[in-house]
Amino acid sequence: MPSGFVKKLRAPAGDSPSDRLSSALRAADEAGGRCEVSNFDSGSRIAEIELRVEAKDQEGLDRVIGALAPHGFAVSDEGTLCFEESPRDGVAPAGFYSTTPHATEVFSDGQWHSVTHQRMDACIVEREGEFECVKIRDLVAGDRVVTGDDGLRLALPTASKETDEFSFMSGEVSSERKVGIAVERVADLCRDARKNGKKIIWVPGPVIVHTGAADDLGILATEGWVDGVLSGNALAVHDIEGDLLGTSLGVSLDDGRLVEGGYSHHMRAINVVRAAGDIPSAVRDGVITGGLMHALVTHQVPFILAGSIRDDGPLPDTEMDLVVAQERYAEMLTDAGVVIVLATMLHGIGVGNMLPGGVPLVCVDIHPAVVTKFGDRGSSQTMGVVTDVGLFVARLRKVLLAEDSS
């Protein structure tokens, strides 16, 4: 039996170290390891937890270490950074280290180096003395890939006024009584992003058309509060159907009643756009005269529509190559200051997996189970708000635009 590896976790003030410790102990137990708390200093400004972990064999130990990684644990001593070469393009060595959203550092040549392009579910590759996260599919034969867990640590954020304020809602699911406060917190995140020259990225689902949130989001785009939109084919289809025919999936946006022949409206909207060439052409030609997509095109706000197997049409603008869509998503997320997900688990979780842990991610959904999934990313920068997206975006628009007019 190995003597055990020691792990450390630094939790920013405002988080609950006790809750984090409990979740880590459960994860270690489920992974088949033995955990012993050797240090738990909850009185300092930055709480520190030190665990001694044991398993029956190296494979079991690696499994426990992997289970603890999403909770912020890493080998505490420097150790020796290990590498193996990628055997061929798109294939990692068997023992590769799989990254988390947390900012990661590696110990090499006597000092700690930050890993760039941080994201979860990637490898760490050394290229010309620099270390970066690289997706498995992007590996090139001969790449020096970090293996094992030695010589690695997770650099969790230090406490500050900003993290204290954000921690009010971070890592939890809000109740309805907190929605008003949550709107103010999200507005603060948007203001901070704009002030710091960072992007405000929105990830809306098609339900925003049914709830009326698309109109409010379009107004926010007009006023400069939207720097990019990441979504799928359905959002644009429903939005354009609403502009052309006054329905969303055949249901009247005015009175909520099913319209005769409405079952075909989304296909007719797709056909109109295909005849025009694409969405920007349909806007320029005066075919599309309102709605969210019209606002995005008119105000030159970039959008990316990622396709899926269930898409009708699709629209010419929808990227049906999944790999290309992921790369375009990741490119738009560069320099994001806040990401706001509106009622889309599919695209929201996909975006969340691409983000480094330090970027605030807000998930708004009427279903608590969906919001909870975002908290499972292991990032303390995730805010969950359980409410109707139509009401939420309308309230957020009023808060942000009231400031602009004052």
The per-residue pLDDT for range 101-148, each reduced to its tens digit, is 888 989 898 888 999 999 999 999 999 989 999 999 999 999 999 998
| Residue 169: C-alpha distances to residues 59, 65, 174, 367 (Å) | 37, 28, 7, 17
pLDDT of residue 32: 84
Q: What does the alpha-carbon distance between residue 18 and residue 375 come to, in Å, rounded to a whole number? A: 17
User: Is 86 a residue whose pLDDT tops 50?
Assistant: yes
With contact defined as beta carbons under 8 Å apart, do 266 and 238 qualify? Answer: yes
Mean pLDDT of 240-258: 94
For residue 2, name the pLDDT band (cuts at 50, 70, 90): very low
Q: What does the alpha-carbon distance between residue 364 and residue 387 come to, in Å, rounded to a whole number? A: 7
* Full set of structural domains in the chain with CATH: 1-76 (3.30.70.2690), 82-157 (2.40.420.10), 161-405 (3.40.50.10690)
Between 26 and 87, name the one with better pLDDT: 87
Q: What does the alpha-carbon distance between residue 163 and residue 167 come to, in Å, rounded to a whole number? A: 6
Encoded tokens for 396: 């957020």
Q: What does the alpha-carbon distance between residue 232 and residue 344 come to, in Å, rounded to a whole number? A: 10
Structure letter (DSSP) for residue 72: T
User: Is 5 a residue whose pLDDT tops 90?
Assistant: no
Q: What does the alpha-carbon distance between residue 52 and residue 251 come to, in Å, rounded to a whole number? A: 59
List of long-range contacts for 369-378, beta carbons under 8 Å, 24+ apart: 370/343, 370/345, 371/173, 372/173, 373/345, 373/349, 374/341, 374/348, 374/349, 375/171, 375/172, 375/173, 377/70, 377/101, 377/120, 377/352, 377/353, 378/70, 378/71, 378/72, 378/100, 378/101, 378/102
pLDDT of residue 179: 85
Q: Which of 129, 134, 86 is nearest to 106 (CA)?
A: 129
Name the 3-class secondary structure at 44. coil
Percent of the chain scored above 90 by pLDDT? 62
Mean pLDDT of 45-70: 74
Tens-digit pLDDT profile for residues 138-180? 999 999 999 988 888 876 554 444 444 444 444 455 555 578 8
Name the 3-class secondary structure at 216. helix
For residue 37, name the pLDDT band (cuts at 50, 70, 90): confident
Q: Which residues contact 87 (CB under 8 A, 6 or more apart)?
A: 93, 141
